[in-house]
Structure 1
Amino acid sequence: MNAPEKIRCDACPVMCYIAPGQTGACDRYGNLAGRIVRCDPLTILDRAAASGTPLIPFAAGAPDGEWDGEIARPAEEFVTGIGAGTTYPDYKPAPFIVSREVEGADVVTVVTEAIFSYCGAKLKIDTDRHLGPERAIVRAEGEPVGHVTTAEYGSQMLSLGGVDHLTGGTKTEGKATCATLLALCNREPVELTIDDGATLTAQAGHPPIVNGTPEHRMRVGCGSATIGMFASQWHGLVDEVVVVDDHITGVVSEHQAGKVLAWPPTGIRIRGHRSTPGRYFRVSEPGQGWGGTRLADPTEILAPFEARKGAHPGLTLLMVSTTGEEHAYYVLDDTLTPRPHPLPAVLAPTVALIAENCEPSLTTVLFMAGAGGSLRAGVTQNPVRLTRAVQSQRTRLTCGGAPVYVWPGGGITFMVDVTRLPENAFGYVPTPALVAPLEFTMPRADYLALGGHAPSIRTLADIRSTGGEYTAGPARRLP
């Protein structure tokens, strides 16, 4: 007996031969009765979702999703690239080129799923904790998947993915990178380890977990900024305040904010590199302690107090971190040595005020990619015109219905916040590469002027009723 005939899927460069009733390597396309069928549905967003209506599935069996409908405006319905299929790597018109009326204007939206080998994720981790030195390798499952970049205001930045990790290293590295990007973009938790640094659990829209401890607060500012904001709250309640911070540690009596309040000198001395008055750099190596330093005991940054400059027995000192999570109160003894004492009740509200002004710590994941190749040819017969139309904002680019930031310069390089897309909007192909939805929206006249594929334009009603090349039959994963 002859084996059932396999058919070739041309939805990605892998070009799988798929047996009847089976899916390809990506689990996104299958052979159903001799026809390649998309295993999850095209997604249409409905603005009525703001009032509780779920996502409108293109075909039966689609899971309900949550969506506020806002970014689908001004149209009542918006066809996303999620579940549309792709034209890569061969030229053919985009899977769906949809005509619809928006406030009296004839608008065309070109819908496709793009396959990105040139893609990555930029992570913003809200924490004062030291994650690792700049340029340190970030690993997933032991494989290098990115690196630490710059520290920003209250956050550490990571750059993950890119073509070198996806396809330029070992096969294991490429698979680990693809799996990491896919999980992060679909808002799933991922454990990362950083060379000479921390272990991090990152999940878009959730607090980061550093070395097993969830972060709760993003610092209100550096030590100097904290003093600038709250010096008046401490005035008259304590003799000196030091806000400990890995970047800029502040001392209120020396700080300009203290000078404005006529704060008397205290004879305090800080071990560190003085910048401007009341601002000190490099008081400690970075770490997991106070204000992102390695300090468990903040008095390590204090040099002996000077009596000739105002220090005296009984002088009071508050030391606090930039989130208020660490604080301690001291009184100078007869040798001008700070001794710990319970925090006076009168100072407790000032520490709580710092904490109140801290934003919740979150992990932000931005998917970043460049749209090129035959993807653009699937939109127009003259691809450079599409690039120029997007760059000039005559054509609106969205990703799964979400607004994107398009980088200036050549090409269509964009970033999108993954929490703005419906759930599970991203997929993959085992080249390895990520699959992401894209939509190009413009007036019909502009689309035709770009050299668009006029014979392939269809109405939204037609798409809803008859589907498309990869959407025949119920939307389901084949057995």
Structure 2
Amino acid sequence: MSDPAEKIRCDACPVMCYIAPGQTGACDRYANDRGRIVRCDPVTILSRTLEQGGRIVPFAGPAWDGEIIRPADAFVTGIGAGTTYPDYKPAPFIVSSRIEGADMVTVVTEAIFSYCGVKVKIDTDRFLGPEGATVRADGEPIGHVTTAEYGSQMLSLGGVHHLTGGSKPEGRVTCAALLALCNGEAVTLAIDGGSTVIVQAGRAPVVDGREEHRMRVGCGSATIGMFAAQWQGLVDEVVVVDDHITGVVSEHQAGKVLGWQATGIRVKGHRSTPGRYFRVSEPGLGWGGTCITDPLEILGPWEAKRGARPGLTLLMVSTTGEEYAYYVLDAALQPVRQPLPETLQATVRLIDENCEPSLCTVLFMGGAGGSLRAGVTRNPVRLTRSVQGRETRLTSGGAPCFVWPGGGITFMVDVTRLPRGAFGYVPTPALVAPLEFTLAREAYVALGGHEGAIRSLEEIAETGGEYATAGRLESWPGGDE
């Protein structure tokens, strides 16, 4: 142990801070405690039976009660565990356990990720920005708009080029934004040529100051297919306005099968197949993700020779049911707005009822390759093959991960499945995420694992770890998995 009065060097990340007594390093994760580097936060242990609320379990101290932690009920996570960096040494905790009678090993670490980012799914029809547009936080570029999905807009944020390939402010802001998003905090993002969006995992997006409430039930064509039978006999024509595919019930296959009569309607836009129109408007914040506020803008003159007649009724509605209007054709075949009949109000409410609440989903994505694998096994490529072959189960803070096929250990995890505050950072800049590799003990040894570093949970509680000085017992988010 160093002189308690002197600064000591922390080797937990490439920054290698010299930390004064009683102070923390640049990451606020490690401190100088009387001449010893300690991890400031306790390692998190998940319990399948603990009720809501956590408790601190002092490691390596006389106050520890072995009954507090039941090994069969507990899972040691990488949250607060410390890192393998600089990776010549075993992971901070390599824990033995018995699961359903089998001898298992869980290798626990906090991994430092320069190759990482988040994929953000925003449930909204609103136009956020053109595909490929730059996404900014505090004026710095941190990602881009990617391909829209069904009822959702998608962002790709972070990545090594933003973290370390640009200016220092860009890297610093990117790291801060990713950290906040992964820890469930709200982040304001501005999209070039588009909107300003407040994103927070598990919460509704706020687009240009307006909180979204509904994710569309489907495109205009799909909405026609779902509800054509509900409208039959109540209205002569229905147009479902949508940025992607606007549907017209009298022309649509669903309407034809039901025997819907032609109405002489004309829709501006690119006709795809009967009753399905592309590009009736530019994308925007209006009806169905278009830029229109008056739905009549998408209609041309009505044609009497094709069925238009005075008194014909028309319902125009968006794909969420939030916008709707009812018209009756006058003697000049001009649509005149009228109050929505009660019978049609029920059908509009049905669209709304079938829309799911708008949410922001944040998936952390990282490449768990490189030298961190050396903290698990002396032959790193064997770990990659074991994870890809599903012999080794990868979790992050106890949450299940999706592992991409192909080379490397590239994974994604839903940040709402982890305990709050699970992610950290180092000012290189890079994110720090918890990882756990669980496999049969025999398989772990065959990988070339650090067999001599395997300890039971009781041993860990008695002796602590290289950095951690306490454990935090938490209930398992989402229940037993």
TM-score by length of 2: 0.94
Q: Partner of 2:444 in structure 1? A: 447
- Cα deviation, residue 57, structure 1: 3.7
Correspondence for 1:262 among 259, 263, 269: 259
Structure-2 change in CA distance of 1:371 and 1:136 (3 Å): same
Using the alignment, how far apart are the partners of 1:382 and 1:180 within structure 2? 35
Q: Partner of 1:18 in structure 2? A: 19
Q: Partner of 1:282 in structure 2? A: 279
Matched, 1:398 2:398: no
- Cα deviation, residue 55, structure 1: 3.9
Q: Partner of 2:459 in structure 1? A: 462
Aligned to 2:188, the other structure's residue is in SS state strand
- The 5 Å alignment of 1:312-461 reads 312-461=309-458
Using the alignment, how far apart are the partners of 1:312 and 1:188 within structure 2? 56
Correspondence for 2:244 among 244, 247, 250: 247
Matched, 1:156 2:149: no
Using the alignment, how far apart are the partners of 1:466 and 1:13 within structure 2? 27
- The 5 Å alignment of 1:30-429 reads 30-49=31-50, 52-55=51-54, 57-59=56-58, 76-429=73-426
Using the alignment, how far apart are the partners of 2:298 and 2:58 within structure 1? 65
- Cα deviation, residue 305, structure 1: 0.4
Partner amino acid for 2:97? Answer: R
Aligned to 2:452, the other structure's residue is in SS state helix
Partner amino acid for 1:139? Answer: R
Q: Deviations over 1:67-86 (max 9, x none)?
A: xxxxxxx9521110000000
Using the alignment, how far apart are the partners of 1:188 and 1:308 within structure 2? 59
- Cα deviation, residue 240, structure 1: 0.2
- Cα deviation, residue 474, structure 1: 9.1
CA contact (8 A) 2:395 2:401 kept: yes
Structure-2 change in CA distance of 1:75 and 1:389 (3 Å): farther
Aligned to 2:317, the other structure's residue is in SS state strand
Aligned to 1:48, the other structure's residue is in SS state coil
Using the alignment, how far apart are the partners of 1:398 and 1:59 within structure 2? 25
Using the alignment, how far apart are the partners of 1:113 and 1:202 within structure 2? 26
Structure-2 change in CA distance of 1:42 and 1:294 (3 Å): same
Aligned to 2:147, the other structure's residue is in SS state strand
CA contact (8 A) 1:44 1:55 kept: no
- Cα deviation, residue 225, structure 1: 0.1
Partner amino acid for 1:387? Answer: T
CA contact (8 A) 2:98 2:104 kept: yes
Partner amino acid for 2:438? Answer: T
Using the alignment, how far apart are the partners of 1:255 and 1:229 within structure 2? 12
Structure-2 change in CA distance of 1:474 and 1:359 (3 Å): closer
Structure-2 change in CA distance of 1:80 and 1:30 (3 Å): same
How many aligned residue pairs are there?
A: 459
CA contact (8 A) 1:43 1:57 kept: no
CA contact (8 A) 2:4 2:35 kept: no
Aligned to 2:148, the other structure's residue is in SS state strand
Aligned to 2:280, the other structure's residue is in SS state coil
TM-score by length of 1: 0.94
Using the alignment, how far apart are the partners of 2:323 and 2:443 within structure 1? 59
- Cα deviation, residue 221, structure 1: 0.1
Q: Deviations over 1:328-355 (max 9, x none)?
A: 0001111111111110111100000000
Aligned to 2:25, the other structure's residue is in SS state coil
- Cα deviation, residue 372, structure 1: 1.5
Using the alignment, how far apart are the partners of 1:91 and 1:221 within structure 2? 53
Q: Deviations over 1:358-387 (max 9, x none)?
A: 000000000000012221000000000000
CA contact (8 A) 1:45 1:55 kept: no
RMSD of aligned residue pairs (Cα, Å): 1.4
Q: Partner of 1:63 in structure 2? A: none
Using the alignment, how far apart are the partners of 1:36 and 1:328 within structure 2? 67
Structure-2 change in CA distance of 1:347 and 1:192 (3 Å): same
CA contact (8 A) 2:56 2:471 kept: no
Question: Percent identity over the alignment?
Answer: 75
Structure-2 change in CA distance of 1:267 and 1:29 (3 Å): same
Q: Partner of 1:70 in structure 2? A: none
Q: Deviations over 1:310-343 (max 9, x none)?
A: 0001100000000000000001111111111110
- Cα deviation, residue 199, structure 1: 0.3
Using the alignment, how far apart are the partners of 2:162 and 2:39 within structure 1? 28
Q: Deviations over 1:192-212 (max 9, x none)?
A: 000000000000000000000
